[in-house]
């Protein structure tokens, strides 16, 4: 069972719009269900926990290299507590500061820069990503001397993919689209890896494509590096959304995982709506009035944000908030 990050909830924004459903009788209220398997994955929970612990420890500045999670509201929540998000250009100018590396991981060159600049490192790299980096590094050391190629199935420019490419001295080939396959020389050895949050289906399709195009006795091998905590959510999200007449999928606009999971949400229910904030939900989205509403999200979506979406829906429908249940 997935557990959500034990973070404090942000206050729900106030809305002053006229609510067309305010006169609904209780027997017309829809069932609202939040998917308990949605929300932060282990890697993100771990990174947020590291950040909150460091912020409580002392008053020393805490910087995070890149967004700790691809969710603006969660980034804003942590920045309000004192964490500062910086980019790589700003990182290069720091000296002797405390910096958190997020779950996505970093390339060896970034670790080297941290050592040279006396950075106090808070390393929150996901253990799954760390293990993958080591595998890529070892395989590159094995194949590079014999002209082999490292191929990574993933999103170009994504922080995790950048970290993986860094294990290969920048020589790995990234495959994001079918056209990218043409960069590969099929007469030479190939080792295929995947970004941990990619689709299993897409990965297996790529395996079949590359295997079929190998020439002569060139060796092809692959290692399944997709995180099951993430990949297992895809069929689950599809099943969850199919059980409701209307589904709200909550994720940050920059979340790669969110885009993938939302496509599965739509497969299960055509009436699925992507929102990044409860403010985006309008009365029109609730028309016609559904009998049941599902709320789910990406691995970068905090549970408190899905709860805010549920509260916004109840507000628009004139529904009371559920009473707290004593544990």
Q: What is the CATH number of the domain that holds 253?
A: 3.40.1010.20
Mean per-residue pLDDT of the chain? 91
Answer yes or no: is pLDDT of 19 > 90: no
Split at pLDDT 50, 70, 90, the class of 1 is: very low
Q: Describe the crossing of helices 42-57 and 127-143 by its angle, rounded to 10 degrees.
A: 110
Split at pLDDT 50, 70, 90, the class of 250 is: very high
* Parent domain of 205: 128-226
pLDDT at 322: 86
Is residue 269 domain-resident? Answer: yes
Answer yes or no: is pLDDT of 194 > 60: yes
Pair (136, 108) in one structural domain? no
Among residues 273, 228, 223, 227, the alpha carbon closest in space to that of 248 is found at 273
What mean pLDDT is predicted for residues 258-267? 94
Which pair of structure tokens corresponds to residue 151?
């191929």
Pair (49, 37) in one structural domain? no
Pair (94, 156) in one structural domain? no
Residue at which a domain ends, from 63, 97, 125: 125
Is residue 34 domain-resident? Answer: yes
pLDDT at 140: 98
What mean pLDDT is predicted for residues 293-305? 95
CA 259 to chain centre: 9
Pair (191, 259) in one structural domain? no
**Contact call for residues 195 and 161 (beta carbons, < 8 A):** yes
Pair (84, 110) in one structural domain? yes
Pair (172, 247) in one structural domain? no
Rounded distance between C-alpha atoms, residue 255 and residue 75, angstroms: 13
pLDDT at 20: 59
Answer yes or no: is pLDDT of 4 > 60: no
Question: Can you give the pTM of this predicted structure?
Answer: 0.81
The label of the residue with tokens 């009365």 reads: 283
- Please tell me which residue in 61, 160, 205, 321 is annotated as part of the active site: 160
Is residue 263 domain-resident? Answer: yes
Is residue 2 domain-resident? Answer: no
Answer yes or no: is pLDDT of 326 > 90: no
Residue at which a domain ends, from 100, 125, 150: 125
pLDDT at 22: 62
Answer yes or no: is pLDDT of 72 > 50: yes
pLDDT at 21: 64
Is residue 243 domain-resident? Answer: yes
Pair (194, 138) in one structural domain? yes
Is residue 259 domain-resident? Answer: yes
Pair (138, 218) in one structural domain? yes
Is residue 14 domain-resident? Answer: no
**Contact call for residues 5 and 39 (beta carbons, < 8 A):** yes
pLDDT at 159: 92
Pair (211, 136) in one structural domain? yes
Range with lowest mean pLDDT among 110-119, 212-221, 227-236: 227-236
Pair (121, 136) in one structural domain? no
3-state SS, residue 69: coil
Answer yes or no: is pLDDT of 18 > 50: no
Pair (60, 103) in one structural domain? yes
Catalytic-residue membership of 120? no
Split at pLDDT 50, 70, 90, the class of 26 is: confident
Answer yes or no: is pLDDT of 307 > 70: yes
Is residue 71 domain-resident? Answer: yes
What mean pLDDT is predicted for residues 206-227? 96
CA 261 to chain centre: 10
Which pair of structure tokens corresponds to residue 108?
């060896």
The total number of structural domains that make up the chain: 3
Residue at which a domain ends, from 174, 193, 226: 226
Pair (135, 189) in one structural domain? yes
């Amino acid at each position: 069972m997935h557990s959500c990050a034990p973070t404090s909830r942000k206050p729900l924004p106030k809305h002053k719009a006229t609510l067309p459903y305010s006169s609904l009788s209780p027997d017309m209220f829809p069932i609202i269900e939040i998917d308990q398997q949605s929300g932060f994955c282990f890697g993100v929970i771990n990174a947020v926990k590291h950040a909150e612990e460091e912020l409580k420890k002392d008053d020393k500045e805490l910087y995070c290299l890149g967004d700790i999670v691809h969710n603006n509201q969660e980034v804003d929540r942590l920045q309000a507590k004192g964490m500062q998000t910086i980019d790589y250009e700003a990182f290069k100018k720091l000296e002797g500061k405390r910096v958190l590396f997020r779950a996505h991981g970093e390339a060896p060159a970034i670790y080297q820069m941290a050592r040279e600049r006396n950075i106090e490192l808070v390393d929150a790299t996901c253990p799954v990503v760390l293990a993958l980096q080591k595998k890529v590094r070892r395989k590159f050391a094995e194949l590079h001397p014999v002209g082999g190629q490292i191929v990574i199935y993933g999103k170009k420019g994504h922080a995790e993919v950048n970290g993986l490419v860094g294990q290969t001295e920048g020589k790995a080939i990234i495959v994001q689209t079918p056209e990218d396959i043409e960069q590969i020389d099929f007469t030479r050895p190939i080792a295929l890896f995947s970004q941990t949050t990619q689709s299993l289906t897409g990965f297996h399709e790529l395996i079949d494509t590359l295997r079929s195009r190998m020439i002569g006795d060139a060796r092809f091998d692959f290692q399944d590096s997709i995180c099951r905590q993430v990949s297992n959510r895809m069929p689950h999200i599809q099943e969850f959304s199919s059980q409701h007449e209307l589904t709200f999928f909550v994720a940050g606009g920059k979340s790669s995982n969110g885009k993938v999971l939302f496509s599965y949400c739509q497969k299960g229910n055509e009436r699925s709506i992507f929102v990044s904030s409860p403010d985006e939900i309008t009365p029109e989205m609730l028309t016609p009035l559904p009998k049941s509403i599902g709320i789910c999200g990406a691995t970068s979506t905090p549970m408190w944000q899905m709860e805010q979406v549920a509260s916004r829906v109840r507000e628009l429908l004139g529904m009371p908030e559920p009473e707290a249940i004593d544990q």
